[in-house]
Structure 1
Amino acid sequence: MILPTVLRAALLPLNRIAFRPEVHGVGNIPDHGPVILAANHLSFLDSFLIPLVTPRRVSFMAKQEYFDRGGAKQWVTRNFLTGIDAIPVPRGGFRAAQESLEIALRLLENGGVFGIHPEGSRSRDGRLYRGRTGVAWLAIASGAPVVPVALVGTERIQPVGARFPRPGKVVVHFGVPLRFTPPADGKQGPARRRAADEIMAAIAALSGQEVADEFNELSAG
């Protein structure tokens, strides 16, 4: 099994050559303690690139089937995802979604960094869609700050439908941390919705994307 530190060391030079990342605001990521990185989602590459430009180890979710045993291709996929600290989670239904959030909450309670795409799936048209409230649930339950993240250019490097990425330039913006506390009136639903909307507004300000006043219902991954 590939260790995260070994894989990161191997991928960093390749990342610099192939994608020439330009990173802004990395100092907004706390040096220690739990933190949530909430990013826009334009390409399959997004959750692989963010850990390579972030000084701390970051865990994203990945479908459970990627970790299942199989042939040589499955072995490579499983080891690669393990190497980037991906968390295997089941897909489908409310129960699976809640289980995923509880896994992330435990990571945060242990002082880790969790990455999430609040839109849920990749944007096929480049617009920034409304965020799901799972990110707000995590922020309020854990007390962890939320750092908004905007990736620019990943949709050109590996567009939806492309099998492999191509060389190009990526810009990554890390915004000022946002903090959310339990609502004084006890109304969790509205509080989570407000928090999710505030997070998405911060991402939009960093990315410059056109904002869509709807959820992304497409299962683009």
Structure 2
Amino acid sequence: MSAFDPFEWMVRSSIRRSVRTGLRGVWVRGELPSGAAIIAPSHHSWWDGYALRELAWQLRQPFTVLMTERQLGNFPFLRSIGAIGTHELRPAVQALKSGHWLVVFPEGRIEPLGRLRQVEGGAAWLSKMSGAPIIPVALRVVLRGQPKPEAYLRFGRAAIGPELPNTLQHELDLLDAELSQQDPEQPLAGYLRLTGQSSLHDERIDLPTRLLARLTR
């Protein structure tokens, strides 16, 4: 058992509180890998890394995420919860050999919503060096029929490097179809809720809203 680190505890508590207060919830679908895997998600939202980190905490899964030097320079405290620089390839391979999930955003940066614009080769190289499978993850953080955005993570089947662009796009197409076809006031069917409320009626309504509702009945 590792020694208690008060700084790591403070950062972890702050991030988990942000997820619970800033998002309506986090939902997951698909077969989650047990043990070492390269998690290759789409990247269209500031919340993406936090949603994946929350999932790993709930599963008690060791976790490392690659971040750009600019991001780490702005948020150096994220190293305490598993962030390393994109140039730190030896620690990344070692993390995989130690059983971690290693999150590699294959687009390399936050991109606008829509189809994948580029898929870089880092995930394929790390898979070759470590023997770990690549798991494509369609990740959308969307504002639908509720006051707060919702995070959806759709895990696909393991892919080899050259397959990643197609397999990741396939999962994104499926998730986007679900988002466009289902009731926006309800969570997507078939997803496991990790955090948040299951429906609007479960959410706490503030006092002014309750008073207005009573006065106008």
Matched, 1:63 2:68: yes
Q: Name the aligned partner's letter for residue 44 of structure 1.
A: W
Partner of 2:108: 120
Aligned 8 A contact 2:66 2:84 in 1 = yes
TM-score by length of 2: 0.63
Matched, 1:14 2:18: yes
CA distance in 1, matches of 2:152, 2:63: 15
Aligned 8 A contact 2:156 2:171 in 1 = no
Partner of 1:141: 129
Deviation at 1:2, TM superposition (A): 5.3
CA distance in 2, matches of 1:120, 1:126: 15
RMSD value, Cα: 3.0
Greater Cα offset, 130-139 or 110-119:
130-139
Deviations 1:108-130 (A, max 9, x none): 11211100111112213533223
Alignment size in residue pairs: 168
Q: Which among 69, 77, 82 is matched to residue 79 of structure 2?
A: 82
Q: Name the aligned partner's letter for residue 163 of structure 2.
A: A
Inter-CA distance 203–100: structure 2 relative to 1 (3 Å threshold)? farther
Partner of 2:43: 41
CA distance in 2, matches of 1:10, 1:207: 29
Q: Name the aligned partner's letter for residue 93 of structure 2.
A: L
Inter-CA distance 174–3: structure 2 relative to 1 (3 Å threshold)? farther
Aligned 8 A contact 2:116 2:169 in 1 = no
Inter-CA distance 37–2: structure 2 relative to 1 (3 Å threshold)? farther
TM-score by length of 1: 0.62
From the CA coordinates, give the structure whose radius of gyration is larger: 2
Partner of 1:130: 118
Q: Unpaired runs of 5+ in structure 2? A: 178-217
Aligned-residue sequence identity (percent) comes to 23
Aligned 8 A contact 1:61 1:116 in 2 = yes
Aligned 8 A contact 2:45 2:140 in 1 = no
Aligned 8 A contact 1:175 1:206 in 2 = no
CA distance in 2, matches of 1:65, 1:169: 26
Deviation at 1:12, TM superposition (A): 2.3
